[in-house]
Structure 1
């Protein structure tokens, strides 16, 4: 009888831990988070002063995806990128790194090197392929970076290098000439 109760308690504990783990990994998405992600994933405003254009980027709720996977800027333009981390799950910490290429091998190199860089470096490796990056954004936090878009038109990758995110959390910065 005692063994049976102990086994039941362990089973309940294991199921509870598994449920928390799945929820933290983005196992589901509420309609509310869907609406907030699609409301203003990319807001572009022409500005004067310290930057030419402001772009706001968000994750897609509690998932390891950017809500907007394509951003467009002009060549040589000064861009203020605001990352609004609308996620609620504590495991959905993110950053945004803008690379000077869209070469998959370079994206993988930077993505995997992010973990080696560690939390103290914001999971941002020392790599010449990085044009700019935001600090880490905790859920509910907004961070930003101002950078100059490449002079050469083309497609450039942006990626989150928080451990485990880089392979799914990518987008394309389209630079128009």
Structure 2
């Protein structure tokens, strides 16, 4: 009987840690018509092989006038990637094609829409200085936050 109880507790413990590990590999992020994200830090476990960020645009304005996306880069590269993204245009989600400074990016969405960005973490280092931002022209200066990989 004691062995069955121990086995049950071990199973519960393993399930708990497994569920928490997978939960820390995804995040939900909201953006609005006031050019704001609802979070300024997204944290992920170093055990994640890939990260998913679900972006929901809670506003009402269309993508062509108040679109939002989420782009993940080294913090030092935000401005340069955003500047190159403006030239790339909306047809490229305001991200320069093939930009190796970008770890991942989502499509640009308008009010009421959602999208999910999923990317591999093999290039991220534990404790690295990473950020997420919106690359829609002019938004990057306000719409940005830290991405923690620890």
Same fold (TM over 0.5): yes
Contact kept in structure 2, 1:46 and 1:54, CA below 8 Å: no
Q: Aligned to 1:83, which of 47, 51, 55?
A: 55
RMSD, aligned α-carbons: 2.0
Matching residue of 1:123: 94
Residue 175 (structure 1) aligns with: 149
Unpaired runs of at least 5, structure 2:
1-18
1:140 corresponds, among 93, 96, 112, to 112
Partner of 2:78: 107
Figure out how many residues of one structure are paired with residues of the other and give that number: 126
Equivalent residues of 1:157, 1:171 under 8 A apart: yes
Give 5+ residue unaligned stretches, structure 1. Answer: 1-44
**Counterpart check, 1:97 vs 2:71:** yes
Which residue matches 1:55? 27
Distance in 2 between the 1:148 and 1:52 partners? 14
- 3-state SS in 1 of match to 2:61: coil
TM-score when scaled to structure 1?
0.65
CA contact (8 A) 2:61 2:110 kept: no
Does residue 156 in structure 1 map to residue 127 in structure 2? no
Q: In 1, distance between residues paired with 2:149 and 2:66?
A: 28
1:168 deviates by: 1.1
Q: Give, in whole Å, the separation in 2 of the partners of 1:84 and 1:47.
A: 23
